[in-house]
């Protein structure tokens, strides 16, 4: 009888141990989707989705990583630290050229402005002939500048392009009169205007916006439902941004994004729209521009760079 009792206790203990192991397996941490953002207005829907709990509501865990430079963001993507990032078509093409399979999931909303300095005699695009424009070379900024010049029928040869990679430095050089004009994204473009710069052109006035949100093919294969949930939450954030007064969230955004002091009065937010794919013509135009400048060797079709996901 005592033997039977001992055996029974051993059996019960074994079952309990197995049960604990099964429970531990069930409660293992969920996949966390890591997304890189820059200090820009394009990232705001993702930040609002985190702040307002929309990711949690959609059942996905998201970690928003803040980067000060596109180079650091792209390095994190290449090393596998990020699943996706707020980026642009040029960066996606460069990544694929370098062997990192990135896919565009949707375009983003933001505005880039071509600005003339307060002390300059530039009042129109035509006045840029023979003048200097500060920009970052071989980037969305140079692409956008070229498209603005092209629309104004200005030959690139009559423009002096000055490479100024750092955005704050670019603004300082404009305000110091060291360049005649610069190209800047929001929110610093709004600050430049507040300080006296004149807007010559902006992407809100043209069709060729090249900003996107992209994810690695690896993350799309391994976590398709989680990424769909991310964009469901993104759309909820867009709905909130379309309806809520800016005063309800702007202080949080300025602090979270590390925007400079004084931006609260000058920041211009875009009219945010739900996630949708970029137009085929824009993607093809960016690839053509990069090929013409001999920045890439490969040929990329729309389907090579874009992946459509179906929302839950």
The mean-pLDDT minimum among 163-167, 235-239, 241-245 falls in 163-167
Shared-domain flag, residues 158 and 93: no
Range of the domain at 289: 32-110+210-305
Shared-domain flag, residues 135 and 155: yes
pLDDT at position 9 over 70: no
Shared-domain flag, residues 105 and 222: yes
* pLDDT tens column, 93-122: 999 999 999 999 999 999 999 999 998 999
Residue that is last in its domain, among 205, 238, 254:
205
pLDDT at position 86 over 70: yes
pLDDT at position 32 over 60: yes
Q: In sequence order, what E strands does the chain have?
A: 32-37, 61-66, 84-88, 102-107, 112-116, 132-135, 160-163, 181-185, 198-202, 211-216
Where does the pLDDT of residue 311 fall: very low under 50, low under 70, confident under 90, or very high at 90 and above? Answer: low
Residue 300 covered by a domain: yes
Shared-domain flag, residues 229 and 289: yes
The mean-pLDDT minimum among 5-14, 46-55, 281-290 falls in 5-14
Here the CATH number for the domain that contains residue 193 is 3.40.190.10
Residue 181 covered by a domain: yes
Shared-domain flag, residues 49 and 195: no
The mean-pLDDT minimum among 10-24, 28-42, 149-163, 229-243 falls in 10-24
Residue 18 covered by a domain: no
As a whole number, the mean pLDDT across the chain is: 88
Q: What is the pLDDT of residue 5?
A: 42
Q: Which helix (H) or strand (E) holds 18?
A: helix 2-26
Residue 310 covered by a domain: no
The residue with greater pLDDT, 3 or 216, is: 216
pLDDT at position 14 over 60: no
Residue 9 covered by a domain: no
Shared-domain flag, residues 105 and 219: yes
pLDDT at position 45 over 80: yes
Q: Which of 23-27, 127-131, 163-167 is the most confident on average?
A: 127-131
Residues 269 and 248: their CA atoms lie apart, in Å, by 14
> How is the beta sheet containing 102-107 ordered, strand by strand?
61-66, 32-37, 84-88, 211-216, 102-107
Where does the pLDDT of residue 71 fall: very low under 50, low under 70, confident under 90, or very high at 90 and above? Answer: confident
Q: Quote the pTM value.
A: 0.86
Shared-domain flag, residues 198 and 218: no
Shared-domain flag, residues 77 and 94: yes
Q: How many domains does the chain have?
A: 2
Residue 21 covered by a domain: no
Residue that is last in its domain, among 177, 205, 233:
205
């Amino acid at each position: 009888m005592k033997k039977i009792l001992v055996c029974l206790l051993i059996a019960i203990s074994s079952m309990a141990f197995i049960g604990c192991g099964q429970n531990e397996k069930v409660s293992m941490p969920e996949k966390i989707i890591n997304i890189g953002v820059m200090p820009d207005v394009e990232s705001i829907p993702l930040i609002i989705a985190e702040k307002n709990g929309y990711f949690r509501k959609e059942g996905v865990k998201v970690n928003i990583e803040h980067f000060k430079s596109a180079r650091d963001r792209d390095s994190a993507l290449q090393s596998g630290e990020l699943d996706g990032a707020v980026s642009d078509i040029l960066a996606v093409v460069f990544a694929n050229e370098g062997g990192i399979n990135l896919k565009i999931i949707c375009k983003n909303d933001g505005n880039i402005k071509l600005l003339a300095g307060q002390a300059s005699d530039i009042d129109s695009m035509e006045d840029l002939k023979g003048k200097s424009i500060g920009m970052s070379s071989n980037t969305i900024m140079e692409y956008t500048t070229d498209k603005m010049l092209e629309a104004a029928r200005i030959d690139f040869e009559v423009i002096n392009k000055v490479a100024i990679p750092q955005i704050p430095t670019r603004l300082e050089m404009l305000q110091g009169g060291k360049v005649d004009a610069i190209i800047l994204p929001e929110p610093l473009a709004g600050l430049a205007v507040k300080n006296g710069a004149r807007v010559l052109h902006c992407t809100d006035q043209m069709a060729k916006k090249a900003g996107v949100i992209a994810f690695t093919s690896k993350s799309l294969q391994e976590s398709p439902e989680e990424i769909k949930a991310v964009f469901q939450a993104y759309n909820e954030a867009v709905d909130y941004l379309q309806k809520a007064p800016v005063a309800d969230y702007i202080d949080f955004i300025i602090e979270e994004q590390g925007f400079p002091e004084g931006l609260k009065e000058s920041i211009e937010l875009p009219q945010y729209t739900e996630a949708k794919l970029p137009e085929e013509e824009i993607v093809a135009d960016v690839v053509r521009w990069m090929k013409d400048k001999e920045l890439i060797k490969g040929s990329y079709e729309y389907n090579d760079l874009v992946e459509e996901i179906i929302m839950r």
